[in-house]
Copies of this chain bind each other. A is one copy, B any other.
Amino acid sequence: MERISIEVYEIVSHVLTLGFAAMGAALLYFILTKNDNSPKYRPSSVLSVVVMVSAFLLLFLQYLSWSDAYVLSATNDAYVLAEETRLFSNGYRYLNWLIDVPMLLIQILFVAGITGAAFTKYLRNFAVTGVLMILTGYVGQFYEPGRANENVTLWLLWGFISTVFYIFVLVYITRVIKEGSANMKKSKGRPIFEFILPLFYVAWTIYPVAYVMPAFIEQLGYGTAIASQQVLYTVADISSKVIYGVLLNIVSTILSKEEGYEGA
């Protein structure tokens, strides 16, 4: 934690910048394409906008937090923990996910055409399991290897509890995508919508993988472990928020056209 290579310092800076630039750019995309969709699909775009704003702010803060923590060593050949500084922390991410996760899960309901009592049921299930998944993971990361109060047992226990909620999320999202797919049987948007299922499984599963990266601090060294973790988080963030939202938007635009919507 006290000394990392120039490459590790730079790779983390670069990928955090990629992260917030992607969120900022996609924010404008979702605002500018919202009215290509008929009113019933627009809540999905609005929720993408909500996610982009909160993820942009969070990732920008992560970037500042990283930059503030380290300075070039006196010998100019490594980065070292700055004096009178603050530690880099992933905890920002978790509390940001309290906003993002329910929004991401709920936005797909509008595109899948789920309404009435089923909508309310999924909304409640997604909100409850999503929030519990995040809060338990948040508690867990305070014990991760490399921290002053490292406790591997508690870290893995809370991570395990969080993963149980994650499995519920996967069960619900699989049902939602199957139901949505049935609702758009005759639409050209159907294959794109169905592609969201494997994307979701891969993108969201990167998060628990990133959570366990600190387990490899001894094998990889602190720098490599933390850089891998940040790269994984960024790939997961861009896939699960931006690419996911863009696909939902494209499907919404196709459905809107097929249903006779002319655009505004």
Interface residues of A, Cβ cutoff 8 Å to B: 1-2, 6-7, 9-11, 13-15, 17-18, 20-22, 24-29, 31-34, 36, 39, 46, 49-51, 53-54, 57-58, 61, 67, 70-72, 76-77, 79, 81-87, 89, 91-92, 94-96, 98-99, 138, 142, 147-149, 263
With A33-B46, A148-B6 as known contacts, state yes or no: A54 contacts B71, CB within 8 Å: no
With A84-B71, A148-B76 as known contacts, state yes or no: A29 contacts B14, CB within 8 Å: no
With A54-B24, A148-B76 as known contacts, state yes or no: A71 contacts B85, CB within 8 Å: yes
With A18-B96, A263-B39 as known contacts, state yes or no: A53 contacts B71, CB within 8 Å: no
Tell me which residues across on chain B come within 8 A of A39, comparing CB atoms: 36, 263
Tell me whether B25 and A53 are in contact (CB under 8 A): yes
A263→B79 CA distance, assembly (Å): 55
Tell me which residues across on chain B come within 8 A of A96, comparing CB atoms: 17-18, 21
A34→B36 CA distance, assembly (Å): 13
Tell me whether A13 and B92 are in contact (CB under 8 A): yes
Tell me which residues across on chain B come within 8 A of A87, comparing CB atoms: 6, 10, 72
A29→B157 CA distance, assembly (Å): 37
Q: When the two chains form the complex, which single residue of B24, B58, B91, B98 contacts A10, counting CB atoms closer than 8 Å?
A: B91
What does DSSP make chain A's interface, helix, strand, loop or mixed? helix
Tell me whether A95 and B50 are in contact (CB under 8 A): no
With A7-B142, A46-B32, A54-B25 as known contacts, state yes or no: A17 contacts B72, CB within 8 Å: no
A7→B95 CA distance, assembly (Å): 14
Q: When the two chains form the complex, which single residue of B53, B71, B72 contacts A24, counting CB atoms closer than 8 Å?
A: B53
Q: When the two chains form the complex, which single residue of B11, B20, B142 contacts A57, counting CB atoms closer than 8 Å?
A: B20
With A21-B58, A31-B32 as known contacts, state yes or no: A85 contacts B72, CB within 8 Å: yes
A67→B68 CA distance, assembly (Å): 11
A86→B82 CA distance, assembly (Å): 11
With A22-B99, A50-B26, A53-B25 as known contacts, state yes or no: A17 contacts B58, CB within 8 Å: yes
Q: Which residue of B lies closest to A82 (CB)?
A: B84
